[in-house]
Amino acid sequence: MQGKIFKGIGGFYYVMTETGVVECRACGRFRKERIIPMIGDEVVLDVKNGKGYINDILPRRSKLVRPAVANIDTLVIVVAAKSPDPNTAVIDKMLINAEINGITPMICINKSDLADADDLVKLYNGIGYKTVIVSAEEKRGIDELYTLIDGKVAAFAGVSGVGKSSLLTLITGSELETGEVSEKISRGKHTTRHVELFALNNGFVLDTPGFSSIEPEITAELDIAGLFPEIERLTGQCRFRGCRHIGEPDCAVKEAVKDGVIPESRYKIYTELCEIQRSIPEWN
């Protein structure tokens, strides 16, 4: 029997199958081989005497480490048009994390009833990322968001107060724990207590508490330019093959930054990641 893990609590895994939900334990060899099932895993299980046992985990398409979730198709980066004000550095960090982990990102701008989001839309549409404008308060744009994620495993990420849980409640019809922006929340408290997949027609949605606090994990072999679509598109137009777009002359990327085609904020993050990579011993 096959199924998908949609929740894990206290060593028990709850697997959704064609015949219903099965409460499972991982088989003994998992501990010996240090294999830990993840939320979102497609698994093979046996059911004996009413007890389920996970015997195998099918290959993962993608995964996150924090929170531990597998097989995500789309990362919905939720930001607020206002309260809290959007922070492009945080958005870019989450976009980069999605690119590193092989997940297609999109940007959902909530609280459009408080302010317009034209600048954000222009910025990220220009790069090539899909954006959708919604208002959980006015229940506006929810149908479009639903259509964009239907049939996929969609993870919602964003800083506290942007309205992730409120949007998920509207989409799934299930009450999730939410909270108003407060002094405690502004210091980093998350309102969501655990990670769980919620069925959505032909797909699933989940919240990802903790994701926005992760710095991109840079390795020696990582293609930094490939994490920035606007830089990747221009790489072949530089004078020198293998141009790193930092100190080389006749660089198409640097010219695009100078002309305002590539935002300086994005280029700054690119150069910072390149410096981090240069400090890795294996890179030298």
Q: Which amino acid is at 143?
A: D
- Does 266 have pLDDT greater than 90? yes
For residues 163 and 80, give the distance between their C-alpha atoms in angstroms, rounded to a whole number: 8
Q: pLDDT: is 100 or 50 the higher one? A: 100
> At which of 213, 244, 261 does a domain end?
213
At 74, the pLDDT band (50, 70, 90 cuts) reads: very high
pLDDT score for 192: 44
Same domain membership, residue 98 and residue 30: no
Mean pLDDT across the chain? 87
For the chain, the domain total comes to 3
Average pLDDT over residues 24-53: 90
Same domain membership, residue 245 and residue 208: no
Q: Give 80-134 pLDDT, tens digit per residue.
A: 999 999 999 999 999 999 999 999 999 999 999 999 999 999 999 999 999 999 9
Is residue 220 domain-resident?
no
pLDDT score for 213: 63
> At which of 213, 245, 272 does a domain end?
213
Is residue 23 domain-resident?
yes
Q: Give 126-145 pLDDT, tens digit per residue.
A: 999 999 999 999 999 999 99
Q: Which two tokens stand for residue 214?
A: 């992760």
- Does 7 have pLDDT greater than 60? yes
Least confident residue range of 183-192, 205-214, 252-261, 264-273:
183-192
Assign 3-class secondary structure to the chain: CEEEEEEEECCEEEEEECCEEEEEEECHHHHHCCCCCCECCEEEEEEECCEEEEEEECCCCCEECCCCEECCCEEEEEEECCCCCCCHHHHHHHHHHHHHCCCEEEEEEECCCCCCCHHHHHHHHHHCCEEEECECCCCECHHHHHHHHCCCEEEEECCCCCCHHHHHHHHHCCCCCCCCCCHHHHCCCCCCCCCCCEEECCEEEEECCCHHHCCCCCCCCCCCHHHCHHHHCCHHHCCCCCCCCCCCCCCHHHHHHHCCCCCHHHHHHHHHHHHHHHCCHHHC
Same domain membership, residue 170 and residue 197: yes
> What own/partner pairs with CB < 8 Å and gap ≥ 24 does 239-246 have?
244/274, 245/270, 246/271, 246/274
Q: Tokens 């059911």 sit at which residue? A: 47
Same domain membership, residue 208 and residue 69: yes
pLDDT score for 45: 94
- Does 281 have pLDDT greater than 90? no
pLDDT score for 189: 43
For residues 276 and 218, give the distance between their C-alpha atoms in angstroms, rounded to a whole number: 7
- Does 207 have pLDDT greater than 70? yes
> At which of 189, 213, 237 does a domain end?
213
pLDDT score for 283: 55
User: What contacts 88, CB < 8 A, 6 or more positions away?
Assistant: 120, 123, 263, 265
Same domain membership, residue 157 and residue 112: yes
Q: Which amino acid is at 115?
A: A
- Does 149 have pLDDT greater than 70? yes
For residue 84, what are the CA distances in angstroms to 87, 102, 148, 235? 9, 28, 25, 35
pLDDT score for 3: 93
pLDDT score for 193: 54
Positive or negative torsion for Cα 89, 90, 95, 98: positive
Same domain membership, residue 193 and residue 166: yes
At 175, the pLDDT band (50, 70, 90 cuts) reads: low
